[in-house]
Structure formats: C-alpha cells, structure tokens
Structure 1
Amino acid sequence: MVNSSLTYEILLYLNSFYFGMFAACEAGIGILKAVNLPYPSATLGAEAGLLLALLIIESLRCVLGRRGSLALHSVPVCISVFLTIPSALCVTYFFLFQTRILRLEYIMCAIMLLLQVTELFYALLFLCTICRPPSYD
C-alpha cells in the first residue's frame, strides 16, 4: 500500500518550489509582453490581478495542505482540496484563454496542472485513509 501522506507531502514540497518559479516566470513574461507587444490595458490589468489571486490562493493551498498532512488533520487538507479548484481554473486561464500565449507558458502551465491533478488525487487518497475508522487487528 502506498503511503499517501508521504507522497502528498512530497508533492506539496515540490509544488512550493515549482510554483515560485512558475509565478516569477509568469510575471516576467507578462512584463515582457506588456513592453514588447500591443496589449489592451484593461486585459493587462485583469491578467496581473489574476496572477496575484493565483499567488495568494496557491500559497494558502500549499500551506494548509502541508500543515494538515504533517499534523494528520483532515480539515486543512479538505480546505486545500477545495482551493485546488480556483487555483486550477486560474492556471487553465493562463493555459488556454490568455490574450497572448507563448510556448513556454503552455509548457509551464501544463506541468502546473499535472502537478495539481496529482496532488488532488493523493490528497483525496490521504483523506480516505485518515477518515476511515481504525482497525485493531
């Protein structure tokens, strides 16, 4: 049997580093596109706000997931699972619906979505193992 708590913790640890790189690259690419490409100012502000919202949501999701996983508490992990939905929607926007999308952004967003889906799977597996009644065999 797979230790879902350990796997979930490793994925959250990996995500904390990858998301830092992802957010920095998205901010840099956004600045590059704003300077070099014709960009509507309202769209530019909306995408910057969405990146800021993603930064807050994903940071909160990683902190709650790690705190719940380490303490074996299900409530922070449940909140982390629910925060995966808006986080994945923000990354999907950057992946598909952004005004101008570079190939590098396709690759980074695809990796981020893959990481989030894998974390969601192991978080649900972790919640199933922590919420079942103990067996005294």
Structure 2
Amino acid sequence: MGSPSLAYEVLIYLNSFYFGMFACCELGMGLLKAINLSYTGHTLAKDSVILVVVCILETVRIRMGRSGSLAERDWKVILSVFLTIPCFMGVSYILVLQAYKLRLEYLMCTLQLALYLTEIWYAIKFVFSLCRPVTYD
C-alpha cells in the first residue's frame, strides 16, 4: 500500500471485525473450559481476568484508532498505537501461558498477533515517513 497511514487505518478497520469474532469465540471457549475442565487454585480466575482485560483494552484501542487518523496525529490514535503493546502481551498469554489451550485458540491468537504486528509495522513506517525531509519537485 502506498500510504502507511491509510494501511494502518485499513488494518484497524479489519481488526475491528476480526476482534469481534475473536472475543466471542474466546469467551465461549473460556466458558466451555470452565464447565468441562478442572482448574487448580486461582488459574481459572487469572485466565478469565486476563481475557476480559484484553477484550476491554482492545475495544478501547479499536474505538480510539477508528475515531481519528494517523495523518492527523491525534492523541487518540497515538494512544491506540501504544495500547497495542498490552493487547499483544495479553493475546500472547492466551496463546502460550494459559492453563488449557484449544487448537482453535492457537489459530485465532496467531492471526490476532499477526494483525498486531502488521499494524505496528505500518505505524512505525508512518512515523519514519514523517521524519523524511520535504522535497518540492
């Protein structure tokens, strides 16, 4: 894509739909695991809290990212880019450290992490494009 700002906005738009499906599936699988599997100690509570926090943070991140434009350098979009880090860490926890993992979770979390990495790539690319000297041809 030509403009990193446009690419980032398109990725945020796509991620808003994918994350809706991701959150519904993760919450459903979490409920299924809570009913059918035996957890020790506070593992179920920890896994559940992390999932709910990721859902809340990602929802806030997407809303802020879609409300502004990277080209405008609005504080909401910049905060949205920085909120990618805790969301990335939360999805990584679900992928790697969660007590019980399903194969569908591996697939969905990997796709979500790929979206995050692509969004971060285009956000960084946009920041570097701002640092280039202006040429008038």
Give the TM-score normalised by structure 2.
0.88
In 2, Cα distance between the equivalents of 1:15 and 1:95?
A: 18
1:85 is the counterpart of 2:63 = no
SS at match of 1:39: coil
Number of residue-to-residue matches in the alignment: 137
Q: What does 1:46-65 correspond to in 2, within 5 Å?
A: 46-65=46-65
Give the TM-score normalised by structure 1.
0.88
In 1, Cα distance between the equivalents of 2:132 and 2:105?
A: 40
Amino acid at match of 2:49: G
1:75 is the counterpart of 2:56 = no
Partner in structure 1 of residue 97 of structure 2: 97
Tell me which protein shows more helix as a share of its residues: 1
Which string of whole-angstrom CA distances, capped at 9 and with x for unpartnered residues, describes residues 27-57 of structure 1?
0001101111112362111111111110111
Partner in structure 2 of residue 29 of structure 1: 29
- 1:62·1:80 contact (CA, 8 Å) conserved in 2? yes
Taking every aligned residue pair, what percent have the same amino acid on both sides? 50
Seen in structure 2, the aligned counterparts of structure 1 residues 135 and 66 have a Cα distance that, compared at 3 Å, is farther
In 2, Cα distance between the equivalents of 1:132 and 1:67?
A: 26
SS at match of 1:44: helix
Which string of whole-angstrom CA distances, capped at 9 and with x for unpartnered residues, describes residues 60-79 of structure 1?
21122223326622533321
